[in-house]
Amino acid sequence: MEQNPYLPITMKLTKNLVETEDRNINTFTLEFLNKQDEENFKYMPGQFAELSAFGYGEAPFGIATSPTEPGILKFSVAKVGCVSNALHLMEEGTMVGVRGPMGNYYPVEEFKGKNLVIIGGGFAFTTLRALAVYMLDPAHRGDYGDITVIYGARNPGLLLYKEELAAWENNPNINLVTTIDRPAEGWTKHVGFIPSITEQVAPSSVNTYAVVCGPPAMIKFTLPVLEKLNFPPERIYTSLEMRMKCGLGICGRCNIGTEYVCKDGPVFSMAQLKDLPSEY
């Protein structure tokens, strides 16, 4: 019989880290139990997996690590429902279930030879981090032009991956712009919403792709800015969220028109989305 796509592998939760000051987002580090599982789990930045908290259920989350970081997977998860709450309370060392990788990924082949601007808001930064880390890897960095990351949150405490952001500040291979919505004590970087900061700091659209992820309002107001900066819809990518169950394009709830976000997405170009019903 073929591989049963409903059967999760078990991975060990080696670290359950409180990621944001409001304690709403934790980052889980999961370790593969054996080489075979890791071999079978070949993934790319932008893909997601179904995480099981046994006894509570299963839910889809974007993979925050890059395949260039072997041995582990990381997920940064907000507390919203039954499964995410259970994961937040989980003791390190506990076994969790993982099904995946699922979905498509950011078109890193198509990005080759191009500049990239990565725009993220709030906790939707997870797979964008994976993308940035993938491209910054010495094996891949030479394939791409300038890499700009524009990342914002409501306040400094809500930014994910603070240590890594600090390292990127001093990394000549990446141009990081962080912003918060309102001024805060001790904050010396940008203040303002993503769309207006993007307008100020975005690189030229010539030979450049944009990848945008964030809350619906942020995406809604950022897209016109990119349009104004002459990014054509074929060169703007985003990753969509949908309620999902199977992750296999079968259970029927995550479709936008003919496309199943779990199987045909979650990554779509704006050009693709323009041809689909606006039902997401």
C-beta separation of 53 from 37 below 8 A: no
Q: How far apart are CA 259 and CA 41, in angstroms?
A: 24
> Which is closer to other proteins, CB of 82 or CB of 167?
82
Residue stretches of the annotated binding site for [2Fe-2S] cluster: 246, 251, 254, 262
Task: Give yes or no for residue 157 binding other proteins (CB under 8 A).
Answer: no
Task: Give yes or no for residue 255 binding other proteins (CB under 8 A).
Answer: yes
- Contacts with other proteins, 109-128, as mask; x by CB under 8 A: --------------------
Contact region with other proteins (CB under 8 A), list: 125-133, 153-161, 178-186, 244-252: 244-252
Contact region with other proteins (CB under 8 A), list: 109-117, 133-141, 163-171, 242-250: 242-250
Least separation in angstroms between residue 222's CB and other proteins is 18
Selected binder of other proteins within 14, 16, 24, 97 (CB under 8 A):
97
Q: How far apart are CA 173 and CA 22, in angstroms?
A: 31
Task: Give yes or no for residue 34 binding other proteins (CB under 8 A).
Answer: no
Pull the structure tokens for residue 280: 């997401």
Task: Give yes or no for residue 58 binding other proteins (CB under 8 A).
Answer: yes
**Count of beta carbons in the 10 Å neighbourhood of residue 146:** 15
Cis peptide before 216 (omega within 30 of 0): no
Pull the structure tokens for residue 252: 């029927």
Selected binder of other proteins within 95, 108, 136, 201 (CB under 8 A):
95
C-beta separation of 123 from 175 below 8 A: no
Contact region with other proteins (CB under 8 A), list: 127-135, 176-184, 186-194, 237-245: 237-245
Q: How far apart are CA 141 and CA 135, in angstroms?
A: 5
Pull the structure tokens for residue 100: 């995946």
> Which is closer to other proteins, CB of 14 or CB of 175?
14
Pull the structure tokens for residue 147: 């890499």
The secondary structure of the chain in percent helix, strand, coil, rounded to multiples of 5, reads 25, 30, 45
Residues 6+ apart with CB under 8 A from 170: none
Q: How far apart are CA 223 and CA 226, in angstroms?
A: 5
Residue stretches of the annotated binding site: 246, 251, 254, 262
Contact region with other proteins (CB under 8 A), list: 39-47, 74-82, 129-137, 153-161: 74-82
Least separation in angstroms between residue 223's CB and other proteins is 18
- Contacts with other proteins, 203-232, as mask; x by CB under 8 A: -------------x----------------
> What Rg value do the Cα atoms of the chain yield, rounded?
18
Handedness of CA 151, 142, 39, 35 (dihedral sign): negative
Q: How far apart are CA 213 and CA 149, in angstroms?
A: 12
Least separation in angstroms between residue 48's CB and other proteins is 14
Residues that bind other proteins (CB under 8 A): 1-2, 4-8, 10, 52, 54-59, 80-82, 84-85, 91, 93-95, 97, 216, 241-243, 245-246, 248-258, 263, 277, 279-280
